Amino acid sequence: MPDLAQLNALPAADATGLLLGCCAAPGWARRVVAGRPYHTLGELLAAADEAWASRAPGDLAAAMAGHPRIGERGVSGRPRQEQAGIGSDAQVLAALRAANEAYEARFGHVFLICASGRGPASILAELNQRMANDPDTELKVAAAEIGKINAIRLRALVAP
């Protein structure tokens, strides 16, 4: 993983590729890369937040498509670490699977939550609470959760 200076020095295509590993939204990644150089992690995070807030049409759908279902087995890499608090209890996983299916049937996309540091009960409670949202509100909530995930992933990407 590069540090901030290395991220700044990468060719644009390589830096974009790294950022797409944090968030699968191409427009977001290009806007963050275009803002280089970043002198501090804070500058990078602020630019990433601004790029996400001003995302292009299609970036939200692309970002959602890049996220596995919460609690899905067989997930590897960064999502697996982020979902570590879910555990492997068969009942919990079955409850998450059923809740995910209901959510996807209602909203047409994967349930997104910043799962780092959260346990299964908290995630299920949030999922159930968000089922009451109207679709527009839920898209805004999901987008905010992606912003949180992006920040965590960017910190890990450029950690010294």
The pLDDT of residue 115: 87
What is the model's pLDDT at position 95? 85
Contact call for residues 160 and 41 (beta carbons, < 8 A): no
CB 143, CB 52: distance < 8 Å: yes
CA 149 vs CA 12, 43, 95, 98: distances in Å: 22, 17, 23, 23
> Which residue matches tokens 């009960």?
121
Measured from the Cβ of residue 37, the count of other Cβ atoms closer than 10 Å reads 11
The residue ranges of the chain whose pLDDT is under 50 are 74-80, 84
Nearest to 68 by CA among 102, 100, 30, 28: 100
pLDDT for res 84: 47
Q: What is the per-residue pLDDT for 25?
A: 97
Please give the pLDDT value at position 157.
94
Phi and psi angles of residue 113, each rounded to the nearest 5 degrees, phi first: -150, 145
